[in-house]
């Protein structure tokens, strides 16, 4: 059993729940013109930490599994095969972009000088990151080869 893959599979739910929580609470705070609270900062911090752990697990899977081996053998071949291209290039690259957006977003929110701007930046940076994550998860309805289970199989 590959425990790194198992954790990477389960942790996706924490990433998604925290991301949805951050985005929905920012959207409702904008509508009701709430003040930026300590709890808002805390949820976005937990979202960032979950993304950091997920990235670390992903990098371990990438460099210890077959995907990086395939890249070393030849990028041309990787790009021709949809499954290899997905895991060796698209999933990894897009998730790193989402992770960067979360980190840049946290510092942009910190630097914003009023509460409305903090919520607006939360919505833009974290919302975009969440969208990328949702689109790049290998959901069971993706084509054969890419599709993975919603939960680990024991
Ligand atoms: C928020 C970020 C991420 C999420 C939500 C996510 C989610 C997932 C999920 C659900 C799977 C399927 C797991 C399974 O087969 O049970 C997966 C597979 C994989 N992920 Fe990620 N991932 C993220 C980031 C990354 C990053 C940054 C990398 C690499 C740099 C990466 C590398 C991989 C690899 C290599 C696999 C395939 C493992 C295999 O079947 O051999 N992931 N990811």
Residue 124 domain-assigned (yes or no): yes
Query: How far is ligand 1, taken at its centre, from the CA of residue 35, in Å?
Result: 36
Does 59 sit in the ligand 1 pocket, CB within 6 Å?
Answer: yes
Residue numbers of the domain that contains 100: 3-136
User: Would you state the pLDDT for residue 154?
Assistant: 80
Total number of domains in the chain: 1
Phi, psi (rounded to 5 degrees) for 13: -70, -35
Predicted confidence at residue 58, as pLDDT, reads: 98
* Spans of the chain below 70 pLDDT: none
Please report the pLDDT score of residue 91 as a whole number: 98
Cα dihedral 137, 41, 46, 148 in deg (nearest 10)? -10
Best residue for ligand 1 mutational test, from 91, 137, 140 (most atoms within 8 Å of Cβ): 91
Residue 144 lies inside a defined structural domain of this protein: no
CA of 65 to the centre of ligand 1 (A): 11
In a domain, 73, yes or no: yes
Check residue 1 and give its pLDDT. 86
- How far CA 100 is from CA of 52, 55, 105, 128, in Å, comes to 10, 10, 8, 11
């Amino acid at each position: 059993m590959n425990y790194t893959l198992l954790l990477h599979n389960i942790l996706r739910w924490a990433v998604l729940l925290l991301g949805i929580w951050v985005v929905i609470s920012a959207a409702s705070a904008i509508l009701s013109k709430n003040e930026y609270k300590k709890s808002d900062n805390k949820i976005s911090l937990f979202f960032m930490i979950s993304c950091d752990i997920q990235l670390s697990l992903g990098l371990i899977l990438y460099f210890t599994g077959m995907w990086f081996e395939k890249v070393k053998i030849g990028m041309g071949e990787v790009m021709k095969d949809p499954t290899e291209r997905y895991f060796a290039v698209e999933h990894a690259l897009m998730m790193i972009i989402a992770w960067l957006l979360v980190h840049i977003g946290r510092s942009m929110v910190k630097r914003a000088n009023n509460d409305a701007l903090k919520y607006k930046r939360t919505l833009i940076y974290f919302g975009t990151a969440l969208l990328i994550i949702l689109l790049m998860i290998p959901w069971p309805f993706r084509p054969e080869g890419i599709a993975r289970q919603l939960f680990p199989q024991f």
